[in-house]
Structure 1
């Protein structure tokens, strides 16, 4: 249960990246920037000197971008990964789709070019380019999407299978930690994503009775620190007495639904 709600809070922060242009929530925009900054700082960097560099024109979806290729504007589909949809003709918007797109947008923000590593075949049946995508610093976009639970390994078609073992190992780690799309059991299927299962599970969890004892009833302090981070403190924790309560909550579920994360101590 805690893993589920922690993931929802994390992805709520990711989704706020989409509101950056409107400036409607500066604190949460700073949070998403912090998440991506942390990713950039900790991610493995690969040698891209032998890959091809292209002008980046836009991020279309979590797993699709547009580049300038041989003088033309073309879509590039990320090889071997699949993120939930944001605006599909038949599937519509799927849970974690906007978050995946926001993550890719933030990871590539400020980059006028990207590096593409091609496999054996350059295009799919829809004539889209197929490639492994890297930032100027050598960060694999596919790796980070999988690592953060925002994509699944999919569309494994010969001969384009160069990195399938690498990607599968990253996915297994995300699955074990119930990160992102893996936080809701059976949401990810072999054929894609099951929205009905996702909403059924999340509704069941949201409707579950609170396990908070009467002694702690409505005594959870929601504090916003100097960095703008929303943190809630439980009675008995080290900083509980000194925490200034901007809001009070009866349950941890209420606090997390309001955008607060638990204090570490």
Structure 2
């Protein structure tokens, strides 16, 4: 029993010794520069004492004042060098305290600025704290796809680069007043809707989301999408501000239809923009023309017409039915007055282009009128 008891006691003693040694080593390495400095001063002391007691020079066989003193001077120099190597720099020593001091000043500045806003203008908070400024990353949901803006066409249409190709994107479920449609006048708030849309899509990272019910393209071949900028819905912003109405509900259910209807109702109740004139925004579109109607019709006629080798009326269609009208030639080239793109017979989008058609006999005529070939 005594042996067993002694064994247990010895085991704990060994553990205690190991713990002491580990902590001693940690302390030694964390304060090693202090030890080097102490040894350096001790070496200087022994170098002085060696003049009087040469026997202190234990390394020399012939213990003289010179050999003993010189040895300790050399040790002192070595320890001073080691102290210099291991000593922390001033920046490292005071980094934490400097940061805390700056943070405290920033906090005090923020506290003062809360009571006196005028001070904020002359003392920006960023200058107070020497910290790295963090940029907020905007994450893209998995159901949204990145796109690069090319051009804002009107209040509910944009052109983008999507998957390496230029695409025209028509906003799902919303409609804004017309300003560029051939054969129609410029409608009230059309320019305002265009400017609002342009401001939104130019303000950040552009992403597209597509509906899962199959509505991915309209009859003109344009992509149908929910459009976002920095994660904010462009459709919602247009509806809330009274620049758009909910429309084109062809294949319900739609993901955001009920939300859009609520946004539309809010703007309608506030009589914002398109809702400020009674009877202007209806279920079938917008009624009325802006004061620039005459100028708009003239501009529309110039855009729809094509000059060239004959009468312009021979090469432009009637926007009401979009029937082929260039019977005097064999070119039969279709131009879309909205997208300003022309399609040759045999092109995948040739038969899908059925409205807003401007007819051309040659590609040269189409390009001269400002149209570009379909990709």
Q: What is the TM-score with the length of structure 2 in the denominator?
A: 0.38
- State the Cα deviation string for residues 60-79 of structure 1 (Å, max 9, x = none): 01100001123321100000
Q: In 1, Cα distance between the equivalents of 2:253 and 2:190?
A: 24
Q: In 1, Cα distance between the equivalents of 2:268 and 2:176?
A: 15
The corresponding residue for 1:108 is: 201
User: Offset of 1:166 from its aligned partner?
Assistant: 0.5
The corresponding residue for 1:126 is: 220
Q: In 1, Cα distance between the equivalents of 2:176 and 2:139?
A: 25
Cα RMSD over matched residues?
Answer: 1.9
| 8 A contact 1:153–1:171 mirrored in 2 | yes
| 8 A contact 1:100–1:151 mirrored in 2 | yes
Q: In 1, Cα distance between the equivalents of 2:250 and 2:203?
A: 33
Q: After superposition, where does 1:193-208 map in structure 2 within 5 Å? A: 193-195=286-288
Higher helix share: 2
- Structure having the higher Rg: 2
SS in structure 2 of the partner of residue 126 of structure 1: coil
Q: In 1, Cα distance between the equivalents of 2:252 and 2:271?
A: 31
Q: Report 1 or 2 for greater relative contact order, CA contacts < 8 Å, sequence distance ≥ 6.
A: 1
The corresponding residue for 2:145 is: 52
Change (3 A) 1:159 1:172: closer
| 8 A contact 1:119–1:160 mirrored in 2 | no
Q: Is 2:259 aligned against 1:145? A: no
The corresponding residue for 2:275 is: 182
The corresponding residue for 1:254 is: none
| 8 A contact 1:48–1:134 mirrored in 2 | no
Aligned residues: 151
The corresponding residue for 2:111 is: none
SS in structure 2 of the partner of residue 195 of structure 1: coil
SS in structure 2 of the partner of residue 168 of structure 1: helix
Change (3 A) 1:110 1:179: closer
The corresponding residue for 2:209 is: 117
Q: In 2, Cα distance between the equivalents of 1:109 and 1:72?
A: 19
Q: Is 2:119 aligned against 1:65? A: no
SS in structure 1 of the partner of residue 146 of structure 2: strand
The corresponding residue for 2:265 is: 172
- State the Cα deviation string for residues 34-89 of structure 1 (Å, max 9, x = none): xxxxxxxxxxxx97422101111111011000011233211000000000011111
SS in structure 1 of the partner of residue 192 of structure 2: helix
The corresponding residue for 2:169 is: 76
User: Offset of 1:122 from its aligned partner?
Assistant: 1.3
SS in structure 2 of the partner of residue 105 of structure 1: helix
SS in structure 1 of the partner of residue 208 of structure 2: strand
Gaps of 5+ in 1: 1-45, 200-265
| 8 A contact 2:146–2:162 mirrored in 1 | no
Change (3 A) 1:160 1:104: farther
Gaps of 5+ in 2: 1-137, 292-375
Q: In 1, Cα distance between the equivalents of 2:282 and 2:191?
A: 19
Q: In 2, Cα distance between the equivalents of 1:57 and 1:170?
A: 28
The corresponding residue for 1:36 is: none
